[in-house]
Amino acid sequence: MVGEQNIESKTSFIEQSPFNLLHGVKKKYYLIALSLLISLFIYLFYRTEKTVITELFISIISFDAFVELQKTIIKILPLNERIIYSLPEGLWVFCITLTSKNLFLKIGSREINLIFAPLVFSIGLELFQLLHLTNGRFDFWDIGFSVLFWAIGNYLVSFKSTQQNLLNPFTTRSFICILSYLIVYLAHVWQ
């Protein structure tokens, strides 16, 4: 009887955790939107002005207005270097982990589970940076943040969804998954 009460109290605690306050698919999309907004904020105001997203933003508000806004934000909210340079990648990996959950790609008779694609993609990008095949600087912290946020997305955030082929049928869920991978282009730095 005591053991039963412990199990009930543990279940109750898990159900009340911040990741389970929102339910179902909506929870997933709220978490994705919040993560991407935090990343956007960091990219816009703390990273170089030469990223695609920052250039787009500057074209809307003007360079002078951007510089003033950036100075104000940095003065009000100074951020640690790890947060500026590694957190956005971790949050992006978190997002693509959530959008990849329970999806697979069918090639011939093989089904490839996409849950590991975020790790392959993010660590692959870091290796490409190490080999100077793409812009950016190789950083072990980025890999650490990627693995941490992949684990959070994979193991701590649960929601109900069925196994689905990514491309057949092509659904809204498929589109969101592919878009979440392509959004990394907005962080691209123009040379």
The reply to whether 2 falls in a domain is no
CB 115 within 8 A of CB 101: yes
CA distances to 2, 10, 15, 102, 122 from 6, rounded to whole Å, are: 6, 6, 14, 31, 39
**Total domain count, the chain:** 1
Residue 153 has pLDDT above 50, yes or no: yes
The reply to whether 34 falls in a domain is yes
**More confident position, 82 or 12:** 82
The reply to whether 51 falls in a domain is no
CB 149 within 8 A of CB 91: yes
- pLDDT score of 9: 40
- pLDDT score of 16: 47
- pLDDT score of 24: 55
- pLDDT score of 191: 59
The reply to whether 140 falls in a domain is yes
- pLDDT score of 59: 95
pLDDT band at 190 (very low <50, low <70, confident <90, very high): low
CA distances to 67, 75, 86, 146 from 72, rounded to whole Å, are: 9, 5, 22, 30
Structural domain harbouring 123: 23-42+81-185
- pLDDT score of 158: 83
pLDDT tens-digit series, residues 81-124: 999 999 999 999 999 999 999 999 999 999 999 999 999 999 99
The reply to whether 64 falls in a domain is no
pLDDT tens-digit series, residues 17-49: 444 544 556 788 899 999 999 999 999 999 989
Burial track 22-61 (b if 16+ CB lie within 10 A, e otherwise) = eeeeebbeebbeebbeebbebbbbbbeeebebbbebbeee
Residues with Cβ within 8 Å of 172's Cβ and at least 6 positions away in sequence, in order, are: none
- Which tokens is 110 given? 């093989």
Residue 1 has pLDDT above 60, yes or no: no
- Which tokens is 72 given? 């104000």
Stated pTM of the model: 0.82
Residue 2 has pLDDT above 90, yes or no: no
Percent of the chain topping pLDDT 90:
69
The reply to whether 165 falls in a domain is yes
Calpha distance 68→182 (Å, rounded)? 30
Burial zone of 177 (CB within 10 Å; 0-12 exposed, 13-18 middle, 19+ buried): buried
The reply to whether 1 falls in a domain is no
The reply to whether 14 falls in a domain is no
- pLDDT score of 136: 82
Q: Which residue has the tokens 């960091």?
A: 42
**More confident position, 12 or 102:** 102
CB 122 within 8 A of CB 146: yes
pLDDT tens-digit series, residues 14-25: 444 444 544 556
